[in-house]
Amino acid sequence: MPSSQNREEIDMEDVLNYINNRFGVNVEDLDKFNIVERSGDFWLISDQDLPDLDYKTQGVRFVRDTGKYLKPTTYGLQILDEKISGARIQVNREELKTVLDGNMVEKEMEIGEGYVAIVYEERVVGCGLYKDGLLSSRIPKGRGKELNDMI
């Protein structure tokens, strides 16, 4: 995970490199979005003009600068879904319920430690953290509860 000790050091190129290197997403796959920085976070915004749509916030938070690392958001990873070829961890129903309940699941994977896309039934369901052979959820609690109720 790239360090971000100084916010001024993190820019769009750092974010694109991180998404490419960690998740295998080609930069060209992001061409249909505008990526903008707001308060140290990076947002995906449709490149289409939406004049008749009433909204409070334009776009979806894509990557956060935590002050220590770059962290992809659950919604950002879900949007990229099939474009993600790296740092994907497939889970079964029991494993997904375990991490959504706030516990960790032991997974021996051939990927480096860091943020991962949690995949259930071939779909990215959210962001997780893989460290020391353990997977934990970084899916927002409200979204995690909804997901847990659905599976």
Task: Tell the residue number behind the tokens 């916030």, with chain if given.
Answer: 57
Domain topology for 7-150: Nuclear Transport Factor 2; Chain: A, (3.10.450)
Amino acid at 35: I
The residues that bridge with 37 in the sheet, in sequence order, are 42
Read off the tokens for 80: 């990229």
pLDDT in tens, the chain (151 residues): 554 444 457 899 999 999 999 999 999 999 889 999 988 899 999 876 666 766 667 789 999 998 889 999 999 999 999 999 999 999 999 999 999 999 999 999 999 999 999 999 999 999 999 999 999 999 988 888 898 888 8
In this predicted structure, what is the pLDDT of residue 115? 98
Asked if 108 and 79 touch (Cβ cutoff 8 Å), the reply is no
Q: Enter the pTM of the model.
A: 0.87
Contact between 115 and 71 under an 8 Å Cβ cutoff? The reply is yes
Q: CB neighbours (10 Å) of residue 129?
A: 18
Residue 55, pLDDT score: 64
Alpha helix (H) residue ranges in the chain:
12-23, 74-80, 93-100, 141-150
Domain residue spans of the chain: 7-150
The SS3 call for residue 111 is coil
Q: What are phi and psi of 102, to 5 degrees?
A: 95, 10
